[in-house]
Amino acid sequence: MAAEILAEGVCYQYSQSSKMALKDVDLRIRKGEFVAIIGPNGSGKSTLAKLFNGLFVPTKGRVTVDGLDTRDRENVWKIRQKVGMVFQNPDNQIVATVVEEDVAFGPENLGVPPEEIRKRVDEALEIVELKDFAQKPPHLLSGGQKQRVAIAGIIAMRPDYIIMDEPTAMLDPVGRKEVINTVKRLNREEGKTIVLITHFMEEAVEAARVIVMSEGRVVMEGSPREIFSKVGKLKAIGLDVPQVTELAHRLRGQGLAVRNDVLTIDEMVECLCPLL
């Protein structure tokens, strides 16, 4: 039995809707991978995320987690233990009246012993820099602080698969970098599988693989370098590339000899130094 999340021929239709939100999606997320999903508004990213942890079941096709079919009610519990999720809107995620209880909620539900929970909660709050807020009611926090609470929750839960739906949307630039570094560390050092849904192209660059959704379908898939070198194609579906990638593209257009697959500032510096 393969350790992976597998979507085969998945279609999803919301009951109130006449349109399919997902159409024939085939995807494989291998255990230990770091995958980013990008796509325009309404392209089906959040819907897909909710199919991955069994919150939704496919209208057609199937989703399996480590071989467990999400349609089988008996598997729900096991799947929720394996696949943790940070939702797009942290407001919908907060369940407790005190920050640290909220962070403890996930591991408590998994039956983690109390001392271990204490340790995990402290650690998680430390990582997201909310230790001073441990005793506060979450609804009194700022937008970005709430988002950090949700991220701490998933860190404390430690599921094998971590699905994050726009986890950094409301964070300041330094906070965003910190979250991405934490995500990378969870992936590299603890072998956690990461699925990161984002509208920040600079974040997608950090993943090993990028999946591009458009109108309910997977339309592109590849390494960040492959994906972001297709500037025109991405722009045509409403997406973008990092600023330095865009700059390289424009400079090439002006006849300057720079690579077309620059992704980071340092790569760009390297490219430009011989020319300036």
Partner 1 sequence: MPIVVKNLTHIYMPGTPFESVALRDVNWNVEDGEFWGLIGHTGSGKSTLIQHLNGLLKPTWGEVIVDGVNISERGVNLREIRQKVGLVFQYPEHQLFEETVEKDVAFGPKNLGLPEEEVTRRVKEALELVGLKYDEIKDRSPFELSGGQMRRVAIAGVLAMKPKVLILDEPTVGLDPRGRDEILGQIVRLRERQNITVILVSHSMEDIAKLVDKIAVMHKGRMVESGTPKQVFKNYEALASIGLDIPQVTHLMIKLKNKGKDVATDVLTVEEAEAEILRAARRKGHA
Binding site for ligand ATP (CB under 6 A): 14, 16-17, 21, 39, 41-47, 88, 140-145, 170
DSSP output for 38-105: E--TTSSHHHHHHHHTTSS--SEEEEEETTEETTSGGGHHHHHHHEEEE-SSGGGT--SSSHHHHHHH
CA 114/CA 127 separation, integer angstroms: 20
Query: Is 191 a residue that touches Mg ion (CB under 5 A)?
Result: no
Binding of partner 1 by 136 (CB under 8 A): yes
Name the segment binding Mg ion (CB under 5 A); options: 7-15, 63-71, 137-145, 171-179.
Answer: 137-145
Q: Of 221 and 246, which CB lies nearer to partner 1 in the complex structure? A: 246
- Pick between residue 107 and residue 216 the one whose CB is nearest to Mg ion: 216
Question: Among residue numbers 153 through 172, which ones bind partner 1 (CB under 8 A)?
Answer: 166, 169-172
Please identify, among the stretches 66-74, 85-93, 100-108, 222-230, the one whose residues bind partner 1 according to the rule CB under 8 A: 85-93
Strand segments, DSSP code E, in 95-253 are: 161-165, 193-197, 209-214, 217-222
Give the C-alpha separation, 57 to 229, whole Å.
35
The sign of the dihedral angle between the CA atoms of 140, 120, 106, 143 is: positive
Amino acid letter for position 44: G
Question: 67 or 143: whose CB is closer to ligand ATP?
Answer: 143
Restricted to residues 11-40, the positions that interact with partner 1 (CB under 8 A) are 14, 16-17, 39-40
Instruction: For residue 168, state whether it binds Mg ion (rule: CB under 5 A).
Output: no
Confirm or reject binding of residue 140 to Mg ion (CB under 5 A).
no
Task: Report, in Å, the least distance between residue 230 CB and ligand ATP.
Answer: 20
Q: How far apart are CA 119 and CA 113, in angstroms?
A: 10
Q: DSSP secondary-structure letter at 106?
A: H
- For residues 239 and 39, the answer to whether their CB atoms sit within 8 Å is yes
Q: Which is nearer to partner 1, 1 or 275 (CB)?
A: 275
Which of 143, 191 has the CB closer to Mg ion? 143
Q: Is 273 exposed, middle or buried (0-12, 13-18, 19+ CB in 10 A)?
A: exposed
Q: Which residues bind partner 1 (CB under 8 A)?
A: 14, 16-17, 39-42, 46, 88-89, 91, 135-137, 140-145, 147-148, 166, 169-176, 199, 201-202, 235, 238-240, 242-244, 246-247, 250-251, 254-257, 265-266, 268-269, 272-273, 275-276
